[in-house]
């Protein structure tokens, strides 16, 4: 079984493409091709974030499960912390500095003083207060959810290693209870925001963790059997399920607080759809992997983090600077909508590539500090 799973890169590329399309559409209002049939995709593209969370649950659990399968020492917690830190924090801090430098953070201010914004973001707790939620750069809320998940992962791993299915079921239950309780108690106050915090996404992370467990347990046997020929069909069924969920979600858009309300009951189903797609694709023949993990999607996967961090900021700045030029309401001009969409995609992708290859990737080559090895040098496998 391979350590590098190209299928997951393909899914990561799809996730960032969905989020990019959604935020650019929010500005351009450009109708999707075959408007009547595909408009639900850009308008629900924020679900790409759920796919990111699913992939995080998979990829941080997979090395531990893989080591257990091989009978090798598990990754140390020091190595785990360092890889998470060096991947996330420097680029995150750089994006915050740039948001303040270009004045974007001032535009996004929602009530807190700058020092409160900065401190809460550096501690990754900004989503828990109304005055800092969405401040500096609106997309940064997901980093709080991700980092909080990483912080509790050692506890989750302790339980998951012993009882994977029971642990995942408990995470699904907690997520549903969190969202349902908030809808009941806080519908007119903090319901939409608090439902977007970590407890409300535990089911999506759990689906990723459980998918890694299933793949490590049976994946190699399926890949080497005739059942691998059925796997693409199962993956297609998973894709159909995800699209049907998105379509149903879209039809709900005229309901008050529709995004949060719909997801109270149905968010966990996205985790099941993603799990079906991922596990089946990982077990499928080589041709399916090549189809899903094609070069454009793998490239988007490589730059996905910096593309995510900057895409909304850059897209809004382009609109503010009248790039491409427009007069009056540009949304009445289909040519402008198309030009803007192309420019926004190109500019954000080029920027992400530059930051990734000149800043992020060199940092990823740095070795783990000796202090971490001394303090967290033991294996978490006990």
pLDDT at 379 over 60: no
161-184 pLDDT, tens digit per residue, is 999 999 999 999 999 999 999 999
Q: Are 90 and 363 in contact (CB under 8 A)?
A: yes
* Residue 4 banded pLDDT, cuts 50, 70, 90: low
Provide the token pair at 326: 């427009």
Torsion angle, CA of 174/175/181/187, rounded to 10 degrees? 170
* Residue 285 banded pLDDT, cuts 50, 70, 90: very high
Looking at residue 369, what is its pLDDT? 87
As a whole-number percent, the residues of the chain with pLDDT over 70 amount to 96
pLDDT at 198 over 90: yes
Looking at residue 116, what is its pLDDT? 97
Looking at residue 356, what is its pLDDT? 98
Looking at residue 166, what is its pLDDT? 98
pTM: 0.96
* Residue 118 banded pLDDT, cuts 50, 70, 90: very high
Q: What letters, b where the CB count within 10 A reaches 16 and e where it falls short, cover 28-44?
A: bebeeeeeeeeebbbbb
Q: Are 65 and 345 in contact (CB under 8 A)?
A: no
Pairwise CA distance, residues 285 & 230, whole Å: 9
| Dihedral over Cα of 199, 109, 306, 48: its sign | positive
* Residue 370 banded pLDDT, cuts 50, 70, 90: confident
pLDDT at 380 over 80: no
As a whole-number percent, the residues of the chain with pLDDT over 90 amount to 92
pLDDT at 291 over 60: yes
Looking at residue 35, what is its pLDDT? 85
Nearest CA among 110, 183, 178, 99 for reference residue 145: 178
* Residue 321 banded pLDDT, cuts 50, 70, 90: very high
Instruction: Count other Cβ atoms within 10 Å, centred on residue 335.
Output: 10
333-366 pLDDT, tens digit per residue, is 999 999 999 999 999 999 999 999 999 999 999 9
Read off the pLDDT of each residue in 313-327 and give the average, rounded to a whole number. 96
Q: Residue 173 class from Cβ within 10 Å (0-12 exposed, 13-18 middle, 19+ buried)?
A: middle
* Residue 382 banded pLDDT, cuts 50, 70, 90: very low
Mean pLDDT score of the chain, rounded to an integer? 95
Higher pLDDT, 368 or 101: 101
Higher pLDDT, 81 or 35: 81
Pairwise CA distance, residues 174 & 161, whole Å: 19
221-261 pLDDT, tens digit per residue, is 999 999 999 999 999 999 999 999 999 999 999 999 999 99
Looking at residue 111, what is its pLDDT? 87
15-70 pLDDT, tens digit per residue, is 999 999 999 999 999 999 888 899 999 999 999 999 999 999 999 999 999 999 99
């Amino acid at each position: 079984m391979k350590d590098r799973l190209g299928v997951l890169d393909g899914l990561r590329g799809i996730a960032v493409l969905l989020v990019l399309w959604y935020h650019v559409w929010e500005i351009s209002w450009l109708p999707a091709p075959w408007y009547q049939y595909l408009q639900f995709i850009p308008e629900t593209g924020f679900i790409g974030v759920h796919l990111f969370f699913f992939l995080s649950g998979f990829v941080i659990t997979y090395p531990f499960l893989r080591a257990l399968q091989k009978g090798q020492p598990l990754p140390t917690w020091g190595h785990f912390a360092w890889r998470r830190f060096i991947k996330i924090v420097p680029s995150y801090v750089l994006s915050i500095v740039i948001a303040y430098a270009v004045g974007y953070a001032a535009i996004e201010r929602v009530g807190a003083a700058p020092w409160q914004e900065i401190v809460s973001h550096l501690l990754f707790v900004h989503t828990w207060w109304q005055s800092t939620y969405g401040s500096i750069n609106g997309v940064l809320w997901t980093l709080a959810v991700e980092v909080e998940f990483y912080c509790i992962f050692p506890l989750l791993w302790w339980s998951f290693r012993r009882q994977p299915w029971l642990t995942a079921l408990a995470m699904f239950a907690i997520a549903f209870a969190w969202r349902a309780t908030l809808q009941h108690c806080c519908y007119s106050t903090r319901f939409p925001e608090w439902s977007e915090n970590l407890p409300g996404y535990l089911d999506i992370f759990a689906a990723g963790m459980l998918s890694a467990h299933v793949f490590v347990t049976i994946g190699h046997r399926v890949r080497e059997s005739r059942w691998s020929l059925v796997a693409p069909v199962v993956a297609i069924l998973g894709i159909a399920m995800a699209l049907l969920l998105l379509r149903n979600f879209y039809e709900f858009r005229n309901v008050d607080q529709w995004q949060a309300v719909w997801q109270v009951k149905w968010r966990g189903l996205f985790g099941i759809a993603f799990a079906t797609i991922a596990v089946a694709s990982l077990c499928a023949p080589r041709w399916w992997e090549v189809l899903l993990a094609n070069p454009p999607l793998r490239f988007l996967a490589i730059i996905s983090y910096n593309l995510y961090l900057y895409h909304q900021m850059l897209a809004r700045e382009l609109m503010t600077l009248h790039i491409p030029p427009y007069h009056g309401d540009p949304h009445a001009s289909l040519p402008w909508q198309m030009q803007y969409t192309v420019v926004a995609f190109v500019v954000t992708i080029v920027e992400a590539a530059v930051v990734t290859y000149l800043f992020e990737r060199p940092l990823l080559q740095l070795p783990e500090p000796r202090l971490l090895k001394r303090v967290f040098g033991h294996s978490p496998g006990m």
